[in-house]
Amino acid sequence: MEGFKGFERDLTCLGYQYTIGEKYVYRGEIELCQSGFHFCTHPLNVFEFYPPCTSRYAVVDAGGEIVHSDTSDTTKSVCSELTITREVSIAELVHRAVQLCENTESNTGNFSAATNTGRYSVATNTGDFSVATNTGDYSVATNTGVYSVATNTGVYSAATAAGEGGCAVALGANGRARGAIGCWLTVAEWKSINDKMTRIDVQIVQVDGERILENTFYRLVNGKWVSEEKEDMPCD
């Protein structure tokens, strides 16, 4: 069956090295969260385990013995045979989620609004002067129209803006935002204070292609803009 899998930038997962196009076979008993090759059946579930800013993703073919979670709190499956079919972009994950996810709203007209409140949701707009918004965790909001806004408030969520003068807003904990040249990014930084997650900073910056790269996810770390391309190099 087809699935989706997240990796570190070097295509490792929990220290195990994978290669695009290769098939892997687990010799032994498989068990969720313990042994075997894990994957997700929904494209947005991968964000729970591998956040957009620091990860890579692939479409996979799961075979052999397959075990799915029987609880709503666990969003992954495990199999004994796994083929890494091809690498996939976040844009394609969003597109696939639009096709699969029940919590999806999409608009193509100008001056439109698409909104979702559920977890693992997608809100997308292609019309100009439009808004796409999500409040659920592990969600994606995207806009391609000019002067449009994509916003997310859930944790581990992503916001993207591709149209001229667009805005990508990620206000949830561990949120990421990216945009085309000229777009504006707004990201919040959170910190655990007295065992409670608290928003400690919100900043806005314009994508100029030099200090802030286009089509690159950014998040705030200690008040600095940190990109997925250079995770260890804050943008002063």
Domain coordinates of the chain in residue numbers? Answer: 2-88, 105-227
Half-sphere exposure of 108 (CA within 13 A, CB side): 0
204 with 184: CB under 8 angstroms? yes
Give the residue-averaged pLDDT of 141-149. Answer: 73
Percent of the chain surpassing pLDDT 70: 78
Residue with tokens 């439009």: 130
pTM: 0.57
Give the residue-averaged pLDDT of 164-187. Answer: 86
- Structure confidence at residue 75 as a pLDDT band (50, 70, 90): confident
Half-sphere exposure of 222 (CA within 13 A, CB side): 6
- Structure confidence at residue 116 as a pLDDT band (50, 70, 90): low
Which of residues 31 and 174 earns the better pLDDT score? 31
d(CA 124, CA 8): 27
Give the residue-averaged pLDDT of 102-114. Answer: 59
Least confident of 25-34, 49-58, 195-204, 205-214: 49-58
